[in-house]
Structure 1
């Protein structure tokens, strides 16, 4: 695979749109020349636009694409309650609203739409791509693609989320737990030390990020199945993954279930999180995504 030509100048501008009456806030990265396509990105669990989604959006803008990273509803600068609600289908709906807004932007009129998801965002994006014919190609980077057939959700966890939602409706107060903790233990959403080393330190804890996870999320997240979207994909798909990233078996299973044109790039990573900020992973992943996108829309 050859390295993609880099664009020297990238402009980042504020981009806002709405879903269900709530304003969502994004950063739209624009290359110095007319873009090849518009890439909609979405990132990991609880993340915001200044983290992995923005990193890949900027990398693709350097390769000649317009690219949008945005704060999903209830996260970062975007509106919505309860705050820090991780709702996969809601996030897929956010992606659809973003695409509609991009299509109405005069700077991008008629420009093809493609998609890139990172970590949990790749699973959410799979659902969005399967359900939205406007998206012409899809790349998943270090994606987490839940397969509820092989790993059924714990009913007690879902019930905990349901009860938290009921309490919020009754009292107006949402129950929140940390997204990460220093030792990776306790009642946290991401019980991984490497997650804390990113989200809990200056490495990834940008001012717009909140170390929080609405317990009500457990009503929505555990039962989300990304695998079902694989067979419904009709556009070219690129899998970028590592043996040391999260659940490579799910990634292989998802890719195997895809019947549209597909390709894979397996890289060597230390774990999952270095896909978010290590140029040695970001650059080849962005090169491969750009190659797919150009081949699709060119």
Structure 2
């Protein structure tokens, strides 16, 4: 009777969107007591009485679920997986204060909560759950993997840093100290007054934006979509710059797929991680593909999706 009620509830709540035979359901779940909003995509000929392998997809820093995560999720649903995207706490449709905060630890907690939600569903094979992280969320996915949230993980255009790698990228030691100090000041302001210190995430005209004249984020036919918050909380600097994704290289419980190229934004991070993880990393190299091309360009996305699908079908069994 319980399973019947769950099935009837799903039938009532599912918002079916006809997009190349992909049905979508909007869902809510909680992370650390905060309600998050996500979208689930179903494979063709979906049967509620069956169980499917599932993949959670997360994107680059400051992004929302409707950007590159949704593109990958829809395509992977077409490969036979239940897929899920969601907005992190304080981003997009999700609730949460101290909004627009790029905090790797907080975001990892949300990924783990999303995994727990999927595992609670009767249509998901709980021992066949994978995670896919694009760009910044690669490190978050890997951390969640070390916490046993997933049975396998893949990352595309990996951005993996520790303080040693991040420091020169962000202008050297004095620059990093200055950014962290500004972030600490913003955090104290929020704690005492509730006010946020926000800058524009991406702009072609605002030189003080986080990503001045960056491709994808500033292009309306790519990442600059209405759902994009396009904001960055200055309190992000300490958690972001002090995050160490490389430390998890010797802690991953199984194999990880890297879909990458020598032209990604932070190849040195990928090399550092692989030097420690060794044969636990399966690397697929797409020569000449840039960081932003991995986000939405047809050929690299298709090749990435095919690689991820093949890897997951092997590793999740």
Structure-2-length-normalised TM-score? 0.85
**C-alpha distance in 2 between matches for 1:149 and 1:221:** 13
Q: CA deviation at 1:83?
A: 1.6
- Give the one of 254, 277, 281 matched to 2:273: 254
1:19 and 2:31 are equivalent in the alignment: yes
CA contact (8 A) 1:245 1:271 kept: yes
**C-alpha distance in 2 between matches for 1:178 and 1:286:** 31
- Give the one of 174, 184, 194 matched to 1:162: 184
- Give the one of 207, 214, 218 matched to 1:186: 207
Q: Which residue of 1 aligns with 2:40?
A: 28
Gaps of 5+ in 2: 1-19, 168-172
**C-alpha distance in 1 between matches for 2:78 and 2:302:** 11
**CA distance change for structure 1 residues 128 and 87 in 2, over 3 Å: closer, same or farther?**
same
**C-alpha distance in 2 between matches for 1:192 and 1:253:** 29
Q: CA deviation at 1:143?
A: 1.0
- Give the one of 197, 201, 208 matched to 2:218: 197
Q: Which residue of 2 aligns with 1:3?
A: none
**C-alpha distance in 2 between matches for 1:10 and 1:255:** 36
Spell out structure 1 runs of 4+ moving beyond 3 A.
33-36, 149-153, 195-198
| Deviation sequence 1:66-106 (CA, Å, 0-9, x none) | 11111111000000111211111100000010011111122
Secondary structure of the structure 1 residue equivalent to 2:126: coil
1:72 and 2:91 are equivalent in the alignment: no
Q: Equivalences for 1:258-297 in 2 at 5 Å?
A: 258-259=277-278, 261-297=280-316
**C-alpha distance in 2 between matches for 1:111 and 1:16:** 22
CA contact (8 A) 1:175 1:214 kept: yes
- Give the one of 173, 177, 181 matched to 2:199: 177
Q: Which residue of 1 aligns with 2:226?
A: 207
Secondary structure of the structure 1 residue equivalent to 2:211: coil
Gaps of 5+ in 1: 1-7
**CA distance change for structure 1 residues 259 and 242 in 2, over 3 Å: closer, same or farther?**
closer
Worse-matched range after superposition: 250-259 or 189-198: 189-198
**CA distance change for structure 1 residues 86 and 150 in 2, over 3 Å: closer, same or farther?**
closer
CA contact (8 A) 1:180 1:195 kept: no
Q: CA deviation at 1:190?
A: 2.5
1:10 and 2:26 are equivalent in the alignment: no
Structure number with bigger Rg: 2
CA contact (8 A) 2:64 2:87 kept: yes
Q: CA deviation at 1:270?
A: 5.0
Structure-1-length-normalised TM-score? 0.90
